[in-house]
Amino acid sequence: MRTEKINVASITRIEGKMNVSINLDEEGNVAQAQAQLLEFRGFEAFLCGHHASKALLITPRICGVCPVPHHLASVKALENGLGLEPPRPVAMLRELMLACEHVSDHLLHMFVLAGADLLLPDLPLAQRGLPTIYATYPQVLRQVVSMRNVTQTIISAFGVQAVHPNAAVPGGLNKGMTEAERQRFLKGVRQVKETLLKLCDELWFPRLRKAMQDYAGLGRLDTYFLALVSDDRMALYDGTVRIIDPGGSVAADFPAGAYLDHIGEKNINYSYAKAACLPSAGASDGMYRAGPMARVNAAGVAGTEQAGRLMEKFRSGFGQVAQETLAQHFARYISAVYAIERAEQILADPGITEWEPAAPAEYKAGEGVGIVEAPRGLLIHHFRWDDDGYIRAANIITPTNANAGAIDFSLKQVAVRSIRSGQVDREKLEHEVGIMIRAYDPCISCATHALSMEEDLFGINILDADGNLHRK
């Protein structure tokens, strides 16, 4: 069944392209809501036949918004299969790159992509975006740019270019950090921490609180959560994978290599994204979410000072396990603060400047899994290669695959608020769908890494019970 489209709605400011289709039942009420991710690219297929070492350069191109976690998940997968363990300074510098990417990416989302809704709630939807934010809050945007400049420069210091990095090799990094750089970056990172906390205290957080009141309960649903933890603390680069059940208890802790025992995927016939699930808990019950809120829900404690303080505040508001969809914004703020504090901790250690070039890796037939926390959540790379090191099979599960199922459920819940007995409040619908979807911060390029079907940016289709376009 191919659905037609009516009016393209303005759900922009997400990474990639998505349509929303809403099916009505006989009475004209919402029967089903579907997010259609409209890209397909075939990375798993075209990685095959390339030398495994090339995966490090190919996989970042899955996503220009979060290339570092793809780069690092790939190198960890190779090391896992080659039996290599990078020296401690290397692991720390990689974590530093990843932490900086989290900060850059969260800043972009907090102050521009979703930020437009928080900072310009009175402006008509179509006018919200970078130029109007800049026109209204020039100093704020200047500060955001200065902060991103620090974190992107740190990534570029090892990676040649922050997008797309070329930094890691199996067992090492192409380049180390000098003591002078370390001191300069440490100063920069401290400045970022200060600015971020101040800006959020004074402006961003009060706006979020207001939005959470205005849209209370929007898209709420109960799910499992999946995130990396390390000794019960939040973790980005290394740790065990933890499953939290909808009630907030730990359902499982497992190492990267065991992911196939816990995580499954199913195809969605209306979307190019596969939906990840936890098969042991059944299809829709096994729906899980990944991302900042999963990281906050999964960890017992943050492990850094300011993030810890914010996490207590978060828990006092939402309990042991937060399920409110809009709480994801708050969690993203915690995640940004955690990441900048981790960057500071790492840079404060003079030991990270000890660097030696890694010996070239020797390939024989092997297989490996690499898992890291991308800004949007748990990212899994899995490669198998032959005796000469050429990739024979690849599997990639991204955080937006994890959230695909949850987004559909949240959508239905949102649609019900503006559709009753065939009457559609279109303005409200488009507006709330956008607000809800951006809370997930989906990355369509990542979720559909697997072809690329392009259609309009974002459309909302409403179909009646016979599958015909509903126009009202």
Q: What residue ranges bind ligand SF4 (CB under 6 A)?
A: 61, 64
Distance CA(175)–CA(166), nearest Å, equals: 10
- Choice between 125 and 339, CB closer to other proteins: 125
Distance set, CA 86 to CA 90, 209, 251, 354, 437 (Å): 6, 43, 31, 13, 38
Binding to other proteins (CB under 8 A) within 245-264 occurs at 259-260, 263-264
Q: Which two tokens stand for residue 405?
A: 């199922």
- Choice between 61 and 266, CB closer to ligand SF4: 61
Cβ 259 to other proteins shortest distance, Å: 8
Nearest Cα neighbor of 440 from 415, 409, 403, 408 is: 403
Stretch that binds other proteins, among 229-237, 293-301, 323-331, 447-455 (CB under 8 A): 447-455
Indicate which of ligand SF4, other proteins, none lies near residue 470 (CB less than 5 to 8 Å, by partner kind).
Answer: none
Cβ 282 to other proteins shortest distance, Å: 11
Rule CB under 8 A: say whether 131 interacts with other proteins: yes
Cβ 59 to other proteins shortest distance, Å: 10
- Choice between 176 and 442, CB closer to ligand SF4: 442
- Choice between 125 and 396, CB closer to ligand SF4: 396
* Dihedral over alpha carbons 58, 439, 431, 324 (to 10 degrees): 150
Of 272, 330, 409, 440, the one binding other proteins by CB under 8 A:
272
User: Residue 351, CB half-sphere, CA atoms under 13 Å: how many?
Assistant: 9
User: Contact at 8 Å (CB) between 371 and 78?
Assistant: no
Of 248, 279, 300, 366, the one binding other proteins by CB under 8 A:
279
Q: Which two tokens stand for residue 318?
A: 């939402």
Q: Which two tokens stand for residue 163?
A: 């997008």
CA R_g for the chain: 22
Distance CA(221)–CA(3), nearest Å, equals: 27
Rule CB under 8 A: say whether 186 interacts with other proteins: no
Q: How, if at all, do strands 224-230 and 168-169 pair?
A: unpaired
Of 91, 281, 395, 464, the one binding other proteins by CB under 8 A:
395
Rule CB under 8 A: say whether 337 interacts with other proteins: no
Cβ 292 to other proteins shortest distance, Å: 19
Cβ 62 to other proteins shortest distance, Å: 6
Cβ 29 to other proteins shortest distance, Å: 22
Binding to other proteins (CB under 8 A) within 9-48 occurs at 10, 12-17, 36, 38-42, 44-46, 48
- Choice between 76 and 128, CB closer to other proteins: 128
Distance CA(432)–CA(270), nearest Å, equals: 22
Q: Which two tokens stand for residue 370?
A: 């690499």
Rule CB under 8 A: say whether 132 interacts with other proteins: yes
Cβ 34 to ligand SF4 shortest distance, Å: 27
Q: In 153-185, which positions are buried (b, 16+ CB within 10 angstroms) versus exposed (e)? A: ebbbbbbeebbbbebbbbbbbeebbeeebbebb
Which backbone phi and psi does 466 adopt, to 5 degrees?
Answer: -90, 5
- Choice between 128 and 334, CB closer to other proteins: 128
Ranked by CB distance to ligand SF4, the top (closest) residue is 61
Indicate which of other proteins, ligand SF4, none lies near residue 126 (CB less than 5 to 8 Å, by partner kind).
Answer: other proteins
User: Facing residues of 419 across strands?
Assistant: 424
Contacts of 434 (CB under 8 A, 6+ apart): 9, 10, 11, 13, 117, 125
Of 23, 33, 35, 67, the one binding other proteins by CB under 8 A:
67
Rule CB under 8 A: say whether 454 interacts with other proteins: yes
Distance CA(450)–CA(363), nearest Å, equals: 26
- Choice between 167 and 275, CB closer to ligand SF4: 167
Stretch that binds other proteins, among 23-31, 58-66, 290-298, 415-423 (CB under 8 A): 58-66
Indicate which of other proteins, ligand SF4, none lies near residue 53 (CB less than 5 to 8 Å, by partner kind).
Answer: none
Which helix H or strand E contains 184, and what residues bound it? helix 179-199
Of 6, 31, 32, 61, the one binding other proteins by CB under 8 A:
61
Distance CA(228)–CA(233), nearest Å, equals: 9
Please name the residue ranges forming H helices in 322-398: 327-347
Indicate which of ligand SF4, other proteins, none lies near residue 230 (CB less than 5 to 8 Å, by partner kind).
Answer: none
Distance set, CA 379 to CA 234, 237, 275, 421, 459 (Å): 15, 11, 14, 41, 28
